Structure 1
Amino acid sequence: MDVCVVGAGPVGLTLAIGLRRLGIRVRIVDKAPATKHEARALVLWARAREALDSLGVGETLRRHGVELEVVTIHARGRALGELTTGWARSAHARPLNIEQHDIERLLSEELARLGTRVEWNTELMDVKVHDDRAEFTLRHADGTVESAVAPWIVGCEGTAGVVRDRLGIAFEGRRRTGLQVVQGNAHPTWQLGEEPGRGHIFLAPHRSLLVFPLPGGGFRFFCFRDDPDPTLTTAPTIGELRDLVAETAGMPGLRLEATEHLWLNRARFSDRVAARLRSGRGLLAGDAAHAWAPVGGHGMNVGILGAHNLAWKLAAVHHGQAGESLLDTYSDEQRLLAVRYIREMRFNFMELPLPPLGFRAFTATVPATLARRGVQRRLDLRLSDLGRSHRDSVLSRHRPGRRHRAGPRAGDRMPDVALAAGADAQGTDAVRLHTFLGYERWTLVLHAGRAGAGVLDALREACEGFPTPVRVLPVTPWDASEARRLGHPDDLRLVRPDGYVGLVAPLARTALLRSYLVALAAGARTPVRAIPGTPPTPPARHTPSARLVPPTPATPPTPPALIRVDPR
């Protein structure tokens, strides 16, 4: 094996699938006997859906879930307004409700098709990392102990992770007090019906109740409440859940009928982030790297995005296409993303239980707020995670001193722009830019109207000789609005394998592109081939070190393909 992944939850499985698609041999182990069947995470937001789709499992997940279209907000026995979804421009704009155990099952099946099966009942006992490998000990179900070695090990095994503990990485943060979460699946007897695609949020003093439809019928009831008895740790009964729902929703006659599997749990949480997500040949992802109260329902999604960020970088380093410092960019980007979520979720008053005065003040503003289309768009964009960026990453480079003109900045997600299928294909349906991006390569996106033969030759020459594959992609936006989303026609955008913009530079300044790629290849075992007559690339003036931008991904050292967007 090349990588041992510890933990077969959604994050570990996403990471393993990404690595396998990039030619990495993976072993994935989990101490549990099988996939967990209990009420856990439920929602996949738009950005995580895009990430999973780029790994080939998006459509499979969609068929087993139900898209959430609208959420009605209730308080004091009346509806305050509706929050609609799907405002974002993405093929996966709406959140997908799907049980975590179904996600794990479907991802496990996909991983098996790629030649790797989860080793259940296999517990990690110890880990030691060296300069060139990780040595670890596994205990199997029959009690036998195995000593194993791999070039890399990644801990995805949760908040009590052995990998993080053995690496000596601090789990910084503190316990969240005064907050308890009670959840379960049930069929309610109420007048609101059971409309697919419609959820509800009920607000009350010291309570916030989220009710989301399940793919197989019924609802997940998710109640944030105060914590009057912190010593109570037993799972709630269906009666306790009914009383909480009836009290919060103002429906004293409400009855709850358990779904086929009676899944109920009670949880309390800490807000914690690992001090770093890498120590040599050992890395952390998912809840082993960061965990917080499930306000907003983004914990699993952030973990999946982290796995999507890590897989291509780890594959590039292992294949010798980049130096190990590329992995430090994963640690920096993912830690900052988690820290921002923890800060923002402390102000999510739609879900956090409020005292009576705060409850009255907040609910008084909800009807007018939800009546504004601009607010609806902003809320949907924030929930979707499509607006999250890595602008502060050392991998995100905008030409120093250049005023931003239009389109995504370096570090932003590349928009899924609608494109004309071909220059001579008038009246045909639009195609989406994301269908031409690839997880196995970088993509150089530019306006086809500026892609003359001389320009393409210069771009090809700038990319020549690098171990990282780059696809040069001239595209024609569908209309003027889509052209603005793509960016200024005189700029190029180099898109990372995970869909974020790495470089924005003028088309005429191919030296900036080459210097970026040189930096990506820094430390790679596959040397960069020099172009005759090309002077050495000077170090970037905007970075404190001589290392321009830490290394990056790739596959075999093949020349970049020059293509036009014409699926015919």
Structure 2
Amino acid sequence: MKITAQHTQVLIIGAGPSGLMMAAQLLRYGIQPLIIDSKQGPTTHSKALAVQARSMEIYRQMGIADKVKQEGRPAMGVEICLYGEPRAQVRLDQVEGADTPYPYVLMYPQSRNERALLDYLTQNCCPVYWNTTFESISQTREQATVVLEADGESQTITADWVVAADGARSPVRKQLNISFGGDTYKNLFYLIDGKLNIHFDSDLVRLFLSDKGLAGFFPLPGDPDYFRIVGSLPKQYQDREDELSLEEVTPWLKQITGQAFEVTDCRWIDTYKLHHRMAEHFRSGRCFLIGDAAHIHSPVGGQGMNTGLQDAYNLAWKLAGVVNGQSKPRVLDSYADERMPVAKRLLNSTDRVFKFAMSSNPLSRFFKKHVMIRLLNYVWDKGGVRKLFFKTVSQTGINYRDSKLSLHLSHAKSIKAGDRLPCLSIYDEKKQITTDLHEWCAKPGFTLILMGKVIEEELFIVAKWLTQHYTGLINFYYLPPSEKNQQVFDAFEINKGQHKSMLIRPDMHIGYLNDAIDLDRMDRYLKEIF
């Protein structure tokens, strides 16, 4: 399919999960992006596997979470084995107050994620131009000029904005001369998707540690005996460039796991090295980097694909506001301000955990063998530790409290401006149904939520103010005090006779939090954005 447009408002380069999510989010705001990819079509390999709770919440807002959940396979935790023996379990179903409809890690391969997002684009009449390669980019203050190549023909188009989602080797990032600092781990790893001839409980990820290395078994959707197997190879394989066979990998895997098994149906086998790198900047002029083009790290915790999805989720509503003429261009500066610290923390934490897991020095071996399991079993008994672990892995704990878009005017200490809106169950007095706060934020745009006893006349004044100044930009909900909603008032530390006003950003983070209903103060906040 040939591109006929000579100009587009937003050009997305790369149709992996991050690029597809970017396109899908822009479509929610009425923007038809142009999305290209040099590949022949979507990936057929499983690749990234874990979908975290925060990503599922995004899918829910888009209306596709039920389909994704049905096709996936929930993993309820991790079993850690030392020298082949099960020694500890970290179960997510033991976490109290998980504060999400998805208290697990969904095993849902990247190929299926891409298909789900492509289906969303198709339903909204947004094609992907495959077999189209990025060649060069130049920028002015007003627009970017991009040269593409498709079917042996060169084509030049202009774009108001460019989003580079073109992977770790990002040609766009290289052309923009943005450094990609970091390193490559020495070890060579293997990946196998296949069926085992022994039975593992299908709701747990299994991690095997030994002096020989590590191996992880991740349940795949479908047949309960199919798993993704990831493991490290010994040093003699570090510089090997030709492909390894299953017969070569299996003996080494058996030594690490202490398990006598065979892979009876190998659907995919690959070897690769891992990297930890981050772009010096996430923006250059009218071009933004998202996903692997901006940061790559070890697969510890299944964070990579999810972080890219959230990059797109964060940037899309801001870019849509600017393109639609509703937001000030400076709001785009907050993308890098908010997402770069997230990527940096993730890079550092996954690097530390990965290096510890791979270390073979005597002290590390002693700690893993004699101390780690006892310590893990001890701290996992603490409810606060379990909750913190889940919030970290699920990415529901990511906050933007230090962002310029976060204004906290409340005495509340547990929930602050910049935090992700907790997914608390609520009883909707108006509709007489039970729902949750995230459901109130399902529509595109900001959401204003007032809590506490507010007389009808004051509600009318707020509604009139929204209609006069922010028509179509802000959704409005009111939650009066009641016994059925007391847990919500407790969570936000609202005592009897008190109020709370919240402006929820389109990405379901709290932008503005105040203990009073102050329209003048709220208006000043909104005028910094709109």
2:450 is aligned with 1:446: yes
- 1:224 deviation in Å? 4.4
Q: For 1:251-400, list aligned pairs within 5 A.
A: 251=259, 253-259=260-266, 261=267, 263-348=268-353, 352-355=357-360, 356-360=365-369, 361-399=371-409
CA contact (8 A) 1:234 1:266 kept: no
Q: 2:315 is matched by which residue type in structure 1?
A: L
Aligned to 1:516: 525
Going from structure 1 to structure 2, the CA distance change for 1:249 and 1:451 (only over 3 Å counts) comes to: farther
2:63 is aligned with 1:56: yes
2:235 is aligned with 1:230: no
Structure-1 separation of matches of 2:299 and 2:451: 42
Q: 2:518 is matched by which residue type in structure 1?
A: R
Q: Give a deviation string over 1:307-354, Cα, whole Å, max 9, x none.
A: 011111111000111121111101111111100101111332698323
SS at match of 1:315: helix
CA contact (8 A) 2:50 2:106 kept: yes
Aligned to 2:18: 11
SS at match of 1:520: coil
2:426 is aligned with 1:422: no
Q: Give a deviation string over 1:274-321, Cα, whole Å, max 9, x none.
A: 122122221111111111122221010000001011111111000111
Q: Bigger CA drift: 470-479 or 431-440? A: 470-479
Structure-2 separation of matches of 1:424 and 1:248: 57
Structure-2 separation of matches of 1:415 and 1:200: 30
Aligned to 1:169: 178
Structure-1 separation of matches of 2:242 and 2:407: 51
Structure-1 separation of matches of 2:30 and 2:466: 26
Aligned to 1:198: 204
- 1:420 deviation in Å? 0.9
Aligned to 2:491: 485
SS at match of 1:381: helix
Q: 2:138 is matched by which residue type in structure 1?
A: K
Q: 2:405 is matched by which residue type in structure 1?
A: L
Q: 1:518 is matched by which residue type in structure 2?
A: K
Q: 2:262 is matched by which residue type in structure 1?
A: R
Report how many aligned residue pairs link the two structures.
508
2:478 is aligned with 1:474: yes
- 1:371 deviation in Å? 4.1
Q: 1:492 is matched by which residue type in structure 2?
A: S
Structure-2 separation of matches of 1:471 and 1:424: 16
Aligned to 2:5: none
CA contact (8 A) 2:12 2:34 kept: yes
Q: 1:384 is matched by which residue type in structure 2?
A: S
Select 1:150's aligned residue among 140, 144, 159: 159
Aligned to 1:210: 216
CA contact (8 A) 1:462 1:510 kept: no
Structure-2 separation of matches of 1:233 and 1:439: 50
- 1:164 deviation in Å? 1.3
SS at match of 1:245: helix
Q: Which runs of 5+ in 2 are unaligned?
A: 1-7
Q: Give a deviation string over 1:348-401, Cα, whole Å, max 9, x none.
A: 2698323223422323423333344443332222111111111111111113xx
Structure-1 separation of matches of 2:188 and 2:491: 43
SS at match of 2:256: helix
SS at match of 2:142: coil
Structure-2 separation of matches of 1:122 and 1:13: 15
Q: 1:202 is matched by which residue type in structure 2?
A: F
2:113 is aligned with 1:113: no
Structure-2 separation of matches of 1:436 and 1:311: 20
CA contact (8 A) 2:408 2:417 kept: yes
- 1:448 deviation in Å? 4.8
- 1:39 deviation in Å? 4.2
Indicate the structure with greater helix content: 2
Q: Which runs of 5+ in 1 are unaligned?
A: 522-568
Q: Give a deviation string over 1:401-429, Cα, whole Å, max 9, x none.
A: x6x3255201100011111131694xx6x
- 1:135 deviation in Å? 1.0
Going from structure 1 to structure 2, the CA distance change for 1:350 and 1:168 (only over 3 Å counts) comes to: closer
Q: TM-score, normalised by structure 2?
A: 0.90
Aligned to 2:436: 432
SS at match of 1:185: strand
Tell me the percent identity: 25
Structure-1 separation of matches of 2:377 and 2:462: 56
Going from structure 1 to structure 2, the CA distance change for 1:439 and 1:283 (only over 3 Å counts) comes to: farther
CA contact (8 A) 1:296 1:348 kept: no
Aligned to 1:189: 197
Q: 2:399 is matched by which residue type in structure 1?
A: S
- 1:138 deviation in Å? 1.1
Structure-1 separation of matches of 2:308 and 2:218: 22
Structure-1 separation of matches of 2:529 and 2:501: 17
Aligned to 2:73: 66
Structure-2 separation of matches of 1:296 and 1:220: 15
CA contact (8 A) 1:224 1:351 kept: no
Structure-1 separation of matches of 2:466 and 2:29: 24
Structure-2 separation of matches of 1:424 and 1:151: 43
CA contact (8 A) 1:39 1:265 kept: no
Q: 1:345 is matched by which residue type in structure 2?
A: T
Q: For 1:481-560, list aligned pairs within 5 A.
A: 481-488=487-494, 489-521=498-530
SS at match of 2:216: strand
Select 2:103's aligned residue among 85, 93, 104: 93
Structure-1 separation of matches of 2:84 and 2:520: 64
Aligned to 1:130: 140
Aligned to 1:560: none
CA contact (8 A) 1:406 1:484 kept: no
Q: TM-score, normalised by structure 1?
A: 0.84
CA contact (8 A) 2:11 2:35 kept: yes
CA contact (8 A) 1:463 1:517 kept: no
Q: Bigger CA drift: 463-472 or 23-32? A: 463-472
Q: CA RMSD in A?
A: 2.3
